[in-house]
Amino acid sequence: MSAPATAGEAEVLLSALIRFNTVNPPGNERPAQEFLADHLSSAGFDCELLGAEPGRPNLVARLRATAAGDGGPTLCYLGHVDTVLADAADWSHDPWSGDIDDGFLWGRGALDMKSQVAAEVAAAAALGRSGWRPARGELLIVTVVDEETGGALGAQWITETHPEKVRCDMLVNEGGGAVFEYGGRRRYGVCCAEKGVFRFTVTTDGVAGHASMPGMGDNALLKMGPLLDRFAARQPSYRLTGEPQAFLRGIGEDAGDPQAAVAHMRAADPRLATMFEPMLGVTFTPTRIRASEKINVIPSRAELKVDCRVPPGLGEKEVREGIAEVLGGDGDWRMEFTERVVGNRSPTESQLMDAITGWIAERDPGAEVVPVILPGFTDSRHFRMAFPECVAYGFFPHRHQSLLQTAPLIHGADERIDVRDLALATELFGDLATRLLG
């Protein structure tokens, strides 16, 4: 497999994928999926398009071991082809152009995550065309729809409806890999876990009245003021689980003193603290408030919606303790959970982690790999739920375009990827397959 030729193939694939408008909703991913299926079929992969809706199929492409009945592992490269909306007026390049300019490939999905799909498919197709077949197990390419709105038609649907088609032992998906510098060292985060969601509503009660006479009623909305002040003043205390402890040790900080570690991060670069501090415990973010339905009525009830994210290993008990810590144990308010989804994780030590760590050591001597928790979630959660023994990581290496440069572009204007990083990732996906499958 020629690395420069494969990198060029990834660029062609990514430009083409960006030109398919797969904004979700409505998605309309079928043309992009058929394009990828044709590319992989011509390289020797067995391809299927499976979907809950005709216009939104998921692609499953398989390259099996040469030995019949081989019982080796299944390595899956996962990606999604839908994107969020883009407003062309905010961009310096057409978000559907796939243009290459100034060393970057531009367009919606260039980072999230058509680039990873292109790199995975280019690497896999190059292996297939070369005549390579796994000595054991199989290589699985799964590109899904509907990730940006939760995966009900994509990863969730296919793992629940056709688990036998996508069962895997090791999985590489989005969620990590962009380099960051800390303490004079270069580090690459491997996403080993994702936070859960324990959203809740805080309600205050009062007495309705005519708004022309403020003292006539008991305004429930005003009672929200002190609560909002408390949410603004602090987050719950840190509660370190295994992954953030390993992360802090990996960047040279004392896992037993997270306050000092965060202070050091803020001093080094406040942006790093913004991105990494949420890994260290439960977080609360008020996002919506609702009170009177009419402008001239004093509200008898006000509701505040709070987005709460919880590391895997923690749950409702820790959320309630955090609420008591931030808002106080007693008060003229009540709380009710509206959503409970526990976090998900994979072991930080595995054959897959060893392969990624070894590859980074070869390509970027002196750099280190550290486990991270994603504050949000990806399609990995559906695979971890369906296949508890599957080791799933988020990793797409960026050496030239750092984490601090890529993070603001995801879902933002002028989304773009350094073509050198696209080439680097393509090389990774080709090498991981041969290292893990023989």
Distance of CA 33 to the CA centre of its chain: 21
- The pLDDT, as a whole number, for residue 330 is 77
- The pLDDT, as a whole number, for residue 68 is 57
Q: How many other CB atoms are there within 10 angstroms of residue 229's CB atom? A: 9
- The pLDDT, as a whole number, for residue 63 is 97
In the chain, CATH 3.40.630.10 sits at 3-182+344-437
Please check whether residue 82 is in contact with residue 23, taking contact to mean a CB–CB distance below 8 angstroms.
yes
The overall average pLDDT reported for the chain is: 96
- The pLDDT, as a whole number, for residue 5 is 67
The residues that bridge with 144 in the sheet, in sequence order, are: 80
- The pLDDT, as a whole number, for residue 307 is 98
Q: Which of 147, 169, 174, 421 is catalytic?
A: 147
**pLDDT tens digits for 350-388?**
999 999 999 999 999 999 999 999 999 999 999 999 999
- The pLDDT, as a whole number, for residue 4 is 66
Q: How many other CB atoms are there within 10 angstroms of residue 328's CB atom? A: 12
> Does 147 qualify as catalytic in the annotation?
yes
Please check whether residue 296 is in contact with residue 328, taking contact to mean a CB–CB distance below 8 angstroms.
no
Distances (CA, A) of 110 to 129, 152, 307: 26, 23, 28
- The pLDDT, as a whole number, for residue 1 is 52
- Superfamily of domain 3-182+344-437 in CATH is Zn peptidases (3.40.630.10)
The residues that bridge with 168 in the sheet, in sequence order, are: none
Helix, coil or strand: residue 148:
helix
pLDDT < 70 stretches in the chain: 1-2, 4-5, 68-70
Alpha-carbon Rg for the chain in angstroms: 24
Contacts (Cβ under 8 Å, ≥6 apart) of 406: 111, 178, 398, 417
**Token reading at 205:** 């009660």
* Assigned fold of 196-234+281-342: Alpha-Beta Plaits (3.30.70)
CA-closest candidate to residue 353, choices 236, 201, 229, 189: 189
**pLDDT tens digits for 298-351?**
999 999 999 999 999 999 999 999 999 999 977 899 999 999 999 999 999 999
Q: Which of 82, 146, 148, 243 is catalytic?
A: 82
> Does 336 qualify as catalytic in the annotation?
no
- The pLDDT, as a whole number, for residue 66 is 80
In the chain, CATH 3.30.70.360 sits at 196-234+281-342
Distance CA 144, CA 153 (A): 8
